[in-house]
Structure 1
Amino acid sequence: MYSICGFPKSKFRKNSKKSLNLKLTNKLHKINKGEEKMKVCIPTTENGGIDDFVGQHFGRVPTYTIVDLDTNEVAVIPNTGEHMGGAGLPPEFISKTGTHVMLCSGLGPRAVHLFEEAGIDVFVGAQGTVRDVIEAWRQGRLMEATDENACKEHRLH
Structure 2
Amino acid sequence: MRICFPIETDKGLDSTVSDHFGSAALFLVADTDSGATTVISNSGQHHDHGACNPLQALQGSTIEAIAVRNIGTGAVGQINRSGLRVYKAIGETVQNNLEKLATNTLPEYAASEGCSGHGNGGGCCH
Per the normalisation by structure 2, the TM-score is: 0.80
Match of 1:66 among 19, 23, 29: 29
Query: How far apart are the structure 2 equivalents of 1:78 and 1:94?
Result: 8
Q: Does 1:43 align with 2:6?
A: yes
Using the aligned pairs only, state the percent identity.
Answer: 25
TM-score by length of 1: 0.65
- Number of the residue aligned with 1:19: none
- Please list every run of 5 or more consecutive structure 2 residues that lacks an aligned counterpart in the other structure: none
Once the 2 structures are TM-superposed, how far is the Cα of residue 138 of structure 1 from its aligned partner?
2.2
| Stretches of 4+ aligned residues off by more than 4 angstroms | none
Which of these residues, 55, 58, 63, is aligned with residue 94 of structure 1? Answer: 58
Task: Tell me the distance in 1 between the aligned counterparts of 2:61 and 2:45.
Answer: 18
Contact 2:20–2:70 (CA under 8 A) maintained in structure 1:
yes
Partner of 1:83: 46
Residue 123 of structure 1 corresponds to 87
After superposition, the CA RMSD in angstroms is 2.4
Are positions 1:138 and 2:102 aligned together? Answer: yes
Between Structure 1 and Structure 2, which shows a larger proportion of helix residues? Answer: 1
How big is the shift at 1:42? Answer: 0.6
Q: Against the structure 1 CA distance between its residues 81 and 142, is the aligned structure 2 distance closer, same or farther, given a 3 Å change threshold?
A: same
TM-superposed CA distance for 1:43, in Å, is: 0.6
CA distance in 1, matches of 2:70, 2:101: 14
- Residues 68-110 of structure 1: CA deviation (Å, up to 9, x unaligned): 111111100011115269xx72222427211101011121111
Q: Distance in 2 between matches of 1:140 and 1:153?
A: 30
Q: How many residues align?
A: 117
Task: Confirm or deny that 1:113 pairs with 2:69.
Answer: no
**Unaligned 5+ runs, structure 1:** 1-37
